[in-house]
Amino acid sequence: MIYFLQLIFGIVSTVGFAILFHVPKKNIFISALVGGIGWVVFAYCRNEYGGPLLGCFLAACMVGLLAGIFSRVYKETATVFTIPGIIPLVPGAGMYYTTLYLINGQLEKAATTGTQTLLMAGSISVGLLVVGSFFKVHYRLTGTVKRIIEKM
């Protein structure tokens, strides 16, 4: 039930970003869905299983995967789904708490949170990277297979 609520929150906030980024009208809901699902994956991992770093990684993988599939289905560039989808994962909260600890002079806590924030941004990147490479390999493989079949 909590996660259903989180899904709604994720979807609505991604709709907001889709409007800011001028996503074409017909694709707004789909990119919002991608963002919402990514956020739920992250929230679940953060609370129950694996912590925020793994959560960011898996959520970014999910966003990349869904964006890749939807870009094929709707004949749209993947960017239209990835950019709004990735936004909820970007560690704005980590940035806020790092600043908060810094201005209170709690340098140790600031260093811990700051490192975690950087690593979270890094794991988003790695997640996208992994799925992106997977799609590249996939397209190349299917292309080669098609050519071989045509030759035969």
* Binding residues vs other proteins (CB under 8 A): 6, 9-10, 12-24, 27, 39, 43, 76-77, 79-80, 82-84, 86-88, 90, 92-93, 95-96, 98-100, 102-104, 121, 124-125, 128-129, 132-133, 136
> CA torsion sign, 21 to 25 to 30 to 32?
positive
Identity of the residue, 1 or 152, whose beta carbon is nearer to other proteins in the bound complex: 1
Cβ neighbors of 101 (< 8 A, separation 6 or more) are 107, 109, 110, 113
3-state secondary structure of 78: coil
Which residue lies nearer to other proteins by CB, 8 or 149?
8
To other proteins, the closest distance from the beta carbon of 152 in angstroms equals: 27
The CB-of-35 to other proteins minimum distance in angstroms stands at: 10
Closer CB to other proteins, residue 116 or residue 149?
116
Of 54 and 83, which CB lies nearer to other proteins in the complex structure?
83
Q: Six-digit token pair at 93?
A: 């909260």
Closer CB to other proteins, 21 or 44, in the complex: 21
**Token representation of residue 104:** 């209170």
- Of 56, 45, 48, 50, nearest to 93 by C-alpha is 56
Of 117, 139, 119, 138, residue with least CA distance to 127: 119
The torsion angle over the Cα atoms of residues 114, 92, 121 and 17, rounded to 10 degrees, is: -170
Q: How far is the CB of 135 from other proteins (least distance, A)?
A: 10
